[in-house]
Amino acid sequence: MSSQLCVSMIVPVYNVEVFLRECLESIEGQSFLDYEVLIINDGSTDGSAKIAQAFVDKYDNWHLIHKENGGLSSARNAGIARAKGEYICFVDSDDYIEKDYVQKLYDAACEYDADMVIADYHEVDDKGRDLQRDKGKALYQQGVITRDESLHALTYVGGYHYATAVVVAWNKLVRTDIMKRFLYKEGVLHEDEFLIMPLLLACDRVAWITDDIYAYRQREGSIMQDEKLAFRHLEVLDAFEERIRLSQDVGNIELTRKLKMAYFWDIEVWYYFMRTIYKVPWYKLHGYFSRRMCCAMFRYGNIWWKRQIVKYLVFVISPEIYLKKIYK
């Protein structure tokens, strides 16, 4: 019988003293007991480290690692390097989990012999109140999902709930020996988007559980950002292009076609987001988006019929006219 610890729970922490106690209490209250907690203090300047230390002082299997601020990816990577469990799961420090969260993930991993288990989630506000979002049509049923089914979620555009569930790090259990093959890309905002496809390709079996057992907090004011930070969100388009190249490398023709189509839609959607959510003036976006669409048409335009090509030529000339006259 193996004496290896079952689960390493990694909690990156940076200036979240308002929410951290609730997060750690939800971990403390888990019905599953064979785990370690790795709290990665990413250079917090508020009271987060003190709150974390109070929990670490109570339990031998809780550990607090201090590091210089390097961002979420850097903190996750530090946790992965130190993880000793058979599986890894991440919990963001402003979120919280249900008391049977780890138990249900681990049970599914054992039942389905899964390399990765994905759980459903719900969104809450600053006070922990359910936001009652419409999740849309479910992509999966309880049980094992094929690699093609999991990768298909990457072709959805515009914040679809179940596609988000596949992409993000924080609602999953992943075999540690697989997770340790990868590093989260540092210095980007959408680190999950860059890692998820190679990670899915490395997993032979992925399981989905329909239980809604992770609470993802939408913090008030999180959308309000300056223009410089808003532009950093556009790094996600680079992640989408990387998926196309990776799909081509593995020879998945149908997935490649769908990813190319999704890439065009993503360019449209992100122009819409930048104008309507982040309120960036059109003249500061024109050059970037016009060039991005022009390059997309040059590389992947052969997937479209003539009428759609004409529409995207309008986007190249003026993304703003496209937004007002054509975008739906």
Contact 181, 115 (CB under 8 A): no
Report pLDDT digits (tens) over 72-87: 999 999 999 999 999 9
Q: What percent of the chain has pLDDT above 70? A: 97
Q: What pLDDT was estimated at residue 223?
A: 47
- Write the DSSP symbol of residue 145: E
Q: What pLDDT was estimated at residue 136?
A: 85
Mean pLDDT within 256-265: 96
Cα angle 88-161-132, degrees, rounded to a multiple of 5: 105
Domains of the chain: 7-217 (3.90.550.10), 227-325 (no CATH)
Q: What pLDDT was estimated at residue 1?
A: 40
Mean pLDDT within 271-294: 96
Q: What pLDDT was estimated at residue 199?
A: 97
Q: What pLDDT was estimated at residue 3?
A: 64
Report pLDDT digits (tens) over 98-115: 999 999 999 999 999 999
Report pLDDT digits (tens) over 210-242: 999 999 998 775 545 678 889 999 999 999 999
CB atoms closer than 10 angstroms to residue 200: 18
Q: What pLDDT was estimated at residue 165?
A: 93
State the pairing for strand pair 172-175/116-124: antiparallel
Residue 317 to residues 141, 289, 297, Cα–Cα distance (Å): 44, 10, 13
Q: Please state, rounded to an integer, the average pLDDT across all residues of the chain.
A: 93
Question: Among 115, 116, 89, which Cα is nearest to 35's?
Answer: 89
Query: What confidence category does residue 127 fall into, taking pLDDT thresholds of 50, 70 and 90?
Result: confident
